[in-house]
Amino acid sequence: MSTTSALLQSLIGDSSVGLASGATAIKAIVWTRVSTEMQEERGLSIPEQLREIREYAGKRGIKILAEFTETASAFQKEAKRVEFHRMLAAAKNNPEVNAILVHDFSRFSRDSVRTKALVRELREAGIKVISLNDPEVDPETVAGVYMEAITFAKNEAYSREVAFHTRKGCRANVQTRDAETGWCYKSGGQPLFGYKSVQLVRGEEKRGRPIIKSIWVLDDAVVAGRPLHEWARHCLVELAGKGASLEELITFCNQTGIPARRGKYWGLSTWFGLLQPHILLQYCGHAVWNVHRKNGSLRPTS
């Protein structure tokens, strides 16, 4: 072993987790997560994570008691991470569990502060979070404290870098009009009432895969004798624009048979949302995105 390797090994310890003579058997819960289709394409799919974790556990004599999966951003509001909290409760409520196996710590959480607090909370409950692809550290040592902090900070920094480039892509999309249709490109999300989303193939990537762009066009589906986009204009301009209440808008849409955006009938929350300033700005031709913070609250209008 080289001098450099020996020094690193002394700092971070042995990354392999196994059973020493007389050690307590490891009984674990498995946690896997993906947030985008792109991650699946890069080999981080849930089946691939499970395959690697099961292989890892098999080689080290770790008994897997349960497996939990989630398809959601690790930066999502905590209240929405239902499976994640089910997994934590299952680990804490089962006295046999003394470990949680993850593909890497970013699957657990990308918020460095939250991750550190959770890992410490679980450690105090006698449950160790074992990552297959992050260095094994001793949190009781000076080097271990530094290495743990660096690992969690790296995951959060990567997530924020992805968010930065995503917002950059949003700006580029809304500033680009499709040469054939004249509509600007959209970056996902549900179309406004009266519009529909259409996907277009616009060239190929270097690997030959098609480049897909989305645009919103007027929804010309006929309802009660008129295209849906005309009903949207009528509701916004002739009714809401002239002082109609939310109840009046709801009654008109339901009685006319205009399909609600979700479900059969219109409700207060739907029309309340459609009349928010950032939605009305989009109807007026202004692109608006990144309206909500991670906790669901509205960002400043500026």
pLDDT band at residue 264, thresholds of 50, 70 and 90? confident
Of 36-40, 125-129, 177-181, 229-233, which has the strongest mean pLDDT? Answer: 229-233
pLDDT band at residue 3, thresholds of 50, 70 and 90? low
Supply the DSSP symbol for 222: E
Across the strands, what pairs with 195? 218
Q: Comparing C-alpha atoms, which of 34, 82, 32 is closest to residue 57? A: 32
pTM beyond cutoff 0.85: no
The more confident residue out of 91 and 296 is 91
pLDDT band at residue 68, thresholds of 50, 70 and 90? very high
Helix, coil or strand: residue 54: helix
pLDDT (average), residues 211-232 = 91
pLDDT of residue 1: 46
pLDDT of residue 15: 45
pLDDT of residue 272: 92
Domains, the chain, ranges and CATH? 3-157 (3.40.50.1390), 176-283 (3.90.1750.20)
Instruction: Give me 97's structure tokens.
Output: 């569990």
pLDDT band at residue 160, thresholds of 50, 70 and 90? confident
Of 97-101, 113-117, 139-143, 213-217, which has the strongest mean pLDDT? Answer: 97-101
pLDDT band at residue 7, thresholds of 50, 70 and 90? low
220: left (phi over 0), alpha (psi -120 to 50) or beta: alpha
What is the C-alpha separation between 290 and 267, in angstroms, rounded?
25
pLDDT of residue 261: 77
Mean pLDDT over each residue of the chain, to the nearest integer? 82
> What residue has token string 């271990």?
144
CB 117 within 8 A of CB 90: no
Is pLDDT at 94 greater than 70 in this prediction?
A: yes
CA distances to 40, 67, 224, 265, 273 from 257, rounded to whole Å, are 41, 45, 7, 9, 20
> What residue has token string 């007027």?
218
pLDDT of residue 90: 92
Please calculate the CA angle 127-133-136 and round it to the nearest 5 degrees.
50
Burial class of residue 1 in the structure, from the number of CB atoms within 10 Å of its CB (0-12 exposed, 13-18 middle, 19+ buried): exposed
Asked which of 53-62, 67-76, 105-114, 156-165 is least confident by mean pLDDT, the reply is 67-76
pLDDT of residue 251: 94
Supply the DSSP symbol for 297: P
What is the C-alpha separation between 302 and 291, in angstroms, rounded?
10
